[in-house]
Structure 1
Amino acid sequence: MYDALERRSFLAMLLVVSLAFLFLIKPFTGPIFWAVAIALIFNPVQNWLLRRMPGRYNLAALLTLLLCLFIVIIPIMLLISSLIAEGVNLYQKVQSGEISPGQYIDQITQSFPAIQSFLDRFNIDFERIREGAVATFVGGSKLLARQALGIGQNTFQFFLAFSLMIYLAFFLLRDGSKLVDLLIRALPLGDERERLLFAKFAEVTRATVKGNLVVAAVQGALGGLIFWILGIAGALLWGVVMAIASLVPAVGAALVWVPAALYLAAVGEYVPAAVLTAFGVLVIGLADNLLRPILVGRDTKLPDYIVLLSTLGGIVMFGINGFVMGPLVAALFVAFWGIFIREFNEPARVALGETTATREEQPPG
């Protein structure tokens, strides 16, 4: 009786302390998540180095982290800084009246009156759509300008988060397998099931990050390249916007290049409009269909509607990190239920089938 009370008290305190610890590290969710993602994605590089330098765990982790810095993190930081600079410049032009989003929309509708007729057929208020598009455009440029100001004012916080991510990524690369073994020993779920769940978590994380970010980066780079070739202003900015939009299923980067092609056609630039349309359909549009099965694989690919809901929900819950964390949570949800169905329901069906077969074999009476 007393031993049972001690055990329950200890488990209650363990739960309280664990929740307190999770609450304590909540402000660093972003750096922790990206450190885990870096460790999982670059784990094959770490293992490759260890096979050539047996026992040199610190050196292998350091070299792997340096490789990640030079080929991924530093280029992304340079891209983000250039994006914010272009966003500030765009916002200043919008404020000064040099750029008028509403004028561009009016130019398209004047050149293509069929658009207005099509919307009127379904009783869609074009003026409301126009106001929403202008507000979105102005709000987006204002957000980039605010982010630039925020980074300048919170430089210490930014470098603290960045340093924490790099620091954690180093130790996760070096001691990741030991930490997994420790968690397997600690969790009371059964070692085999726990190893399966951790393997699925690693697989889903790699697939989500590589599949979403790499495909988005490729589509954004292709979109920015064709904008630059055609002489469209702000090619870098629109390339990044296309990369973000590519995370939205069904439409993706077309949210950017289709209005651009319409505007080019509206102002009489028919050849650039045709080139942009052909490139958008044949190159940008097919990049997702060609790359995603290779990077993600068929087993972890989510339906488009789940990707859409999880991406939008992830942004609301986790901010900018939700582009990856939202689909990751959805993929883990699907994976966990798949394991549950396979391990708990199928044995029950087999047992039920055996019982039914036994009854059928028994002679009547």
Structure 2
Amino acid sequence: MIQKRIERQFFFVLLAAVSVAFLWLLKPFFAPIFWAVAVTIVFFPVQQWFFKRWPRQPNVNAFLTLMLCFFIVVVPIIVTVSSVVDQLTALYQKFEQGELDLERYITKVEEAVPVLQQWLDRMGMDLDGAQKKLSDSAMSAGKVVAKNSWAIGQNTFTLALDVGVMLYVTFFLLRDGENILALLYKALPLGDDREYLLFKKIAEVTRATVKGNMVVSIVQGTLGGITFALLGIPAAFVCGVLMACCSLIPAVGAAIIWVPVAIYLAIMGSYPQAIILVLVGVLVIGLVDNLLRPVLVGRDTKIPDYIVLLSTLGGLALFGVNGFVVGPLIAALFIAVWGIFIREYQNDDNRKPQNAS
């Protein structure tokens, strides 16, 4: 008995050590593996649709689903990033040639709002100094890019490698996902009912968060970019992309971009443009967030809105862009695990207060 106990304890220690070592080995690829799992969860219904038509062709089904994912997700991202880089390059060239003068814009703001300099003086801030630093920083941007061209190329290669790893892992998860899930049911010592509940919650939250936030960000970014372009605001496409990215932050979202622009337009005396931008921002862009996000995210995840907000902000702070999925996922698992605990270990008799005699 003692020998068997020692063998069992040593085996569990070895199991834990090997598992930790394997996870540590995969640490550099956390992001692509995580997104491979997320993409698999989102596109798995498509895989099942193909499987019903060609049940004996798992490789073909996985490949077709992967190609659909590639053209729906990867290609638009590549086109968007390329367009943003081209527009930023054009903006820098205009600035370098003197067509775009940041000092002139800042001077206009200072002249239009004289009290601004007094308020900044009270805060211990120097507008003229900030103006000079901003101009110097913009002028040296090209030199910084030139000096770090090797690092930029290396980061591009790393990004391409991560995308390749994500697509590669996604293919096998699409093909063998059900078998992997069955192995997890056997391996995890939580009980089938608990495991089913947790895996179901993971799938629901991941699918709702990815699809919901992506739809909201694309709609808000598109509406914002079109509005900026119609109002004649420079770099409308870049501003639209920025609004799409900022819309991942609940409650605040795209307003981080359009509110300062509207304030600047009002200061410059472009009141019709400012009013139109505010109306579109509040009644159209903001309405999209208020209507679509609760329907696409909150309803499917069954998480209160304030928990979604806090978990998303915390996830973005801790995990970067991956956090807008990881944060709500951790919050959902927290709620699910505590729900299991309350249901199974806290019966009504234990929670009833005893009457004082």
Give the equivalent residue in structure 2 for 1:351: 349
CA distance in 1, matches of 2:352, 2:281: 56
What amino acid maps onto 2:317 in structure 1?
G
Q: What is the letter of the counterpart of residue 335 of structure 2?
A: G
Residue 72 of structure 2 corresponds to residue 74 of structure 1: no
Match of residue 300 from structure 1: 303
Contact 1:107–1:263 (CA under 8 A) maintained in structure 2: no
1:248 positional shift: 2.8
Distance 1:186 1:273 in 2: 60
Residue in 2 that maps onto 1:166:
167
Does the CA contact (< 8 Å) of 2:248 and 2:324 recur in 1? no
Q: Output one character per residue of 1:82-115: Cα deviation in whole Å (capped at 9) or x when no partner.
A: 1122233334545665434454344234324566
Question: How has the CA–CA distance of structure 1 residues 176 and 64 changed in structure 2, closer, same or farther, with 3 Å as cutoff?
Answer: same
Distance in 1 between the 2:128 and 2:249 partners? 20
CA 1:335–1:66 in structure 2 vs 1: closer, same or farther (change >3 Å)?
A: same
Taking the aligned partners of 1:290 and 1:136, their CA distance within structure 2 comes to 41
Report the alpha carbon displacement of residue 157 of structure 1 after superposing the two structures with TM: 3.2
- Write the mapping of 1:89-128 to structure 2, written as runs, cut at 5 A: 89-94=90-95, 98-101=99-102, 103-113=104-114, 124-125=123-124, 127=126
Q: Describe the shift of the 1:297–1:56 C-alpha distance in structure 2 as closer, same or farther (beyond 3 A).
A: farther
Asked if 1 retains the 8 angstrom alpha-carbon contact of 2:117 and 2:127, the reply is: no
Equivalent of 2:324 in 323, 327, 348 = 327
Where structure 2 has 5 or more consecutive residues not aligned to the other structure, the ranges are: none
Q: Secondary structure at the match of 1:251?
A: coil
1:148-197 superposed Cα distances (whole Å, 9 cap, x missing partner): 86453455433322221111111111111111111111111111111111
Contact 1:41–1:206 (CA under 8 A) maintained in structure 2: yes
Cα contact 1:264–1:270 (8 A) shared by 2: yes
Displacement after TM superposition at 1:23 (Å): 1.1
Match of 1:237 in 2: 238
Give the Cα–Cα distance (whole angstroms) in 2 for the partners of residues 12 and 6 of structure 1.
10
Cα distance in 1 for partners of 2:41, 2:125 equals: 48
- Whether the 8 Å contact between 1:91 and 1:145 is mirrored in structure 2 is no
Measured against aligned partners, the alpha-carbon deviations of 1:67-93 in whole angstroms (never above 9, x if no partner) come to 111122101111011112223333454
Q: Which residue of 1 aligns with 2:181?
A: 180
Q: Cα RMSD between the aligned structures?
A: 3.4
Measure how far apart 1:253 and its partner are.
1.4
CA distance in 2, matches of 1:21, 1:28: 12
Q: Is the 8 A contact 1:62 1:170 kept in 2?
A: yes
Amino acid at match of 1:300: I
Which whole-Å deviations, capped at 9, do the CAs of 1:21-76 have from their partners, x for residues lacking one? 11111111121111111101011111122222233322221111111111221011
Alignment of 1:238-253 (within 5 A): 238-253=239-254
Structure 1 residues 345 and 71 mapped into 2: Cα distance closer, same or farther (>3 Å)? closer
CA change 1:312–1:330 in 2 (3 A) is closer
Aligned to 1:32: 33
Equivalent residue number for residue 338 of structure 2: 341
Deviation at 1:214, TM superposition (A): 2.2
Letter in 1 for 2:303: T
Deviation at 1:128, TM superposition (A): 7.0
Deviations 1:245-276, CA, capped at 9 Å, x for gaps? 22233332122112222222333332222221
- TM score, norm. by length of structure 2: 0.84
Partner residue in 2 for 1:309: 313
Alignment of 1:42-53 (within 5 A): 42-53=43-54
Identify which range, 84-93 or 286-295, moves more after superposition: 84-93
Q: What amino acid maps onto 2:313 in structure 1?
A: L
2: distance between equivalents of 1:136 and 1:204? Answer: 45
Structure 1 residue matching 2:346: 3-state secondary structure: helix
More moved, 289-298 vs 336-345: 336-345
Cα offset, 1:239, TM superposition = 0.9
What is the percent sequence identity of the aligned residues? 45
Q: Does 25-34 or 258-267 show the bigger shift?
A: 258-267
Q: Is the 8 A contact 2:36 2:170 kept in 1?
A: yes
Residue 255 (structure 1) aligned with residue 256 (structure 2): yes
User: In structure 1, what is the Cα distance between the partners aligned to 2:241 and 2:93?
Assistant: 19
Match of 2:23 in 1: 22
What amino acid maps onto 1:334 in structure 2?
A: A
